[in-house]
Amino acid sequence: MHTNRHLFFRAAALAALLYMTPWNLLAQESSAGASRGMMPTVRIDSTLDLPTVIARAIAVSPAVAGGQAGVRTARSEGRVANGAYLPSLTATSNALRSDVATTPTLAGNGATSYSAGLATSIDLFTGGRRGADKLRSRADLEAAQAVDVSQRYQVTLAAERAYYEALRGGDLMTVADARVLRAAQGLKYARDRVRAGTATKSDDLRASLELTTARQQALASRDTLQAAAYALGRLVGADGPIGAKPPATLDPRPLSMSDTEIVQLAVSAAPTVQAAEASARATEAANRSARSLYAPDIRLLGGYNFANQTSLIGATRPGWQLGLGTSFPIFNGFQREDAVTRAEALAEVSRVTALDATRQVRADASRLLSALRFAQENISLASDAVTAAREDLRVQTDRYRAGIATSLDRLTSEVAVTQAELGLVAAHYNYQITRATLEALVGRSL
């Protein structure tokens, strides 16, 4: 198996160049002129390797920013749940001047009152609401953290897709350019035989049609590469097209775990499963919190007022106070029942969703593992197909130049080579994308 498919395709293109007359000679013979042989260039501002693409995509991704914001919000919710166990403390102040007093003042200008105070209160009993809210906040934080991890791996998967799409576009352009070279070579052979009287004008026309088709494919491949470069640039936060720097190899790599271990890891630790299970725990805690509405609240209140001595009516008097109060709504228009019903329904939906997420992850992990094995085997088969197709083209070319084979035989072999090379490109990137999808599913590199 080849260790570097870029060298693989470049060697093929070089072999075709060595095997044919230079392109300028063909352009002079072609009635279309040299301008038809020129292909537009693809604009690439810079090239990035895969780790850089992933890092930059994560840094500018709105989805990742949303996941981080969810974690911060969940932590704030946890602080509120813990704060419910602490007493509240309120400071007050007041200043008043009035001529309404219990006794007339000597000056006759009224009296002044000023005061300041501290008040505190704490819930002694809430029917279990505080404990349920604390459990819910913990579960919400776990769910937010799992969603954050899931978003990072989803962005990583999108970055890898864009990176490999850009690489695939380059390989498609290499295949298309090699087809143009082969078609140009075939046209020269056909015209040589027409001039020698050993072939008909139909051979020339067929070869010309193949060259035109090859040029159209080359144009389409450049358009594909340019579109992929702009898509990659947007993903990494660039203002222009970004190319993909080829890795050392795209050959299949062994997984770090067995298939059974990977499925078990996906079921137990996949971010989607963890998020669904945490959400189920949060909704169950919310259900318990809603049921606490059937119990009375008991609250302890206290405070101390600092005030001046004044004769004003209704002025605050200095001193402390301590109180114990309770509240229990006997009937509130079925609001408690509605809250409990909604909480129970949401908890049941979350529980079923968590079970379904587990089944879905197990099925997806098994499917992706099978697809990965098939893709790996397909790379080997596609490599064999390329080797066989190129050898067949060489044989048919020699036969055609010797007058044994027809132009249709050679054109059929040319098309077969192109299809085999396209199949090899598809096989390589199908494997890489499948592996990246599996890693995004389990939430770790394999």
CB atoms within 10 A of CB 23: 16
Average pLDDT in the chain: 84
User: pTM for this one?
Assistant: 0.77
**Whole-angstrom distance, CA of residue 40 vs CA of residue 346:** 58
Q: What is the mean pLDDT of residues 22-48?
A: 55
Q: Taking 50 as the threshold, does the pLDDT of residue 21 lie above it?
A: no
Q: What CATH number did the domain enclosing 393 receive?
A: 1.20.1600.10
pLDDT average, residue stretch 13-25:
36
| pLDDT tens by residue, 53-103 | 999 999 999 999 999 999 999 999 999 999 989 999 999 888 877 766 566
Phi, psi of 2 (to 5 degrees): -75, 145
- In the predicted model, is pLDDT for residue 394 greater than 50? yes
Interval 14-34 mean pLDDT: 35
**Mean pLDDT to the nearest integer, 281-295:** 89
- Assess contact for 301 and 123: CB atoms under 8 A: no
Domain hosting 297: range is 5-442
Q: What is the pLDDT of residue 11?
A: 43
- Taking the C-alpha atoms of residue 347 and residue 353, their distance in angstroms, rounded to an integer, is 10
Say how many domains are in the chain: 1
| Confidence grade of residue 316 (pLDDT, cut at 50, 70, 90) | confident
Portion of the chain with pLDDT greater than 90, in percent? 49
User: Quick one: pLDDT at residue 382?
Assistant: 93
pLDDT grade, residue 38 (50/70/90)?
A: low
Region 118-127: mean pLDDT is 89
Q: Does the pLDDT of residue 30 top 60, yes or no?
A: no
Q: Looking at the predicted structure, is the pLDDT value of residue 105 above 60?
A: no
In angstroms, the CA 392 to CA 247 distance is 31
